[in-house]
Structure 1
């Protein structure tokens, strides 16, 4: 029986790497996968899903008003659907993913952030937490050594940005994954933080 899986984490936990590895596992066994990505995330170009360690794959791009069930029905038969950056989905699109599972009997692996820079749930993540069959946390580490569960948006001085649009595409230069305790410290102006994530893929090691 097909299921809807939600793999969630803070940033830099390897969500896209996990997605691409899962797709590879299916394809290695002669099965067809379909990778979907939001038009909002164009960091690596349109129709490209790329991990921080350098591996990538082509994807089919959808916008926020597109019907994902219709999009899947337009494709040739597939064995698994993988969706990157699902925090950008609307409530209706998450429901459409449940329809892909329940009506088409195709497993869906959805990957994304749980909360935004203010600690609030993204709409897509909210309904995946409510409706997914399986919830799986991908873990990463705060610079304090604790598990990182939150994301802080910072300015050029390493101070927390507390307001602004929920969706603002950026990478390690703008967002840092931290523990809840560290998030509160930075967000309440009790300190600052500099991005310390090294650039990947690594070269000349």
Structure 2
């Protein structure tokens, strides 16, 4: 009865915190988990899933060449993926297959869209294939629900062009509501 879960939210909503809590809960019950994070995201060190609350833990890293199959994940009771927006379409299909053919629940956490409002490929495929989709909520500075992101420069000015992914100082992004995305 395993399935593919997608938990999405704007930045600073607690996605990594929830992932780490789920890992703890499984292990507290004597169950095995396999954690992955994107190789591209080295903000907290390679292979580290870290919450802004100060909790962190090591994880395997995935990149474009990673295959998600039973040989890769091993004999586990759950697979947890952080930064799932960086998955490729085929990787999402592999995770979906793990859940349904091998009965291993897969819970992926990530962003839906980038700073231009464009979908990340991994998120688009997760929205298409996941059987259980949940939005984790956070708020915009104006008090509305934040669902989008702005990238800002060193002077606090909004950037409207650039590469889709720019890893680094988290202060370069703001989680915003749709109104502030279009007017801010």
TM score, norm. by length of structure 2? 0.97
Do the aligned partners of 1:152 and 1:183 also contact (CA within 8 Å) in 2?
Answer: yes
CA contact (8 A) 2:73 2:79 kept: no
TM-score (norm 1): 0.87
Aligned to 1:65: 65
Partner of 1:196: none
Moved more, 72-81 or 156-165: 72-81
Distance 1:144 1:14, change over 3 A: same
Cα distance between partner residues in 1 of 2:90 and 2:123: 12
| Aligned-CA RMSD value | 1.0
Segments of structure 2 that go 5 or more residues without pairing to the other structure are none
| Greater relative contact order structure (CA < 8 Å, 6+ sep) | 2
Deviation of residue 29 (structure 1)?
0.3
Contact 2:9–2:15 (Cα < 8 Å) also in 1: yes
Q: 1:132 maps to what in 2?
A: 130
Unaligned runs of 5+ in 1: 187-205
Secondary structure of the equivalent of 1:166? coil
The residue aligned with 1:164 is 162
Matches of 1:176 and 1:91 in 2, distance apart?
A: 27
Aligned to 2:84: 86
Superposed displacement of residue 129, structure 1: 0.3
Deviations, residues 41-73 of structure 1 (Å, cap 9, x unaligned): 11111111111001011101121122122xx42
Moved more, 163-172 or 112-121: 163-172
The within-5 A match list for 1:1-205 is 1-69=1-69, 72-186=70-184
Q: Radius of gyration: which is bigger?
A: 1
| CA–CA distance in structure 1, aligned partners of residues 168 and 117 of structure 2 | 17
What is the deviation of 1:173? 1.4
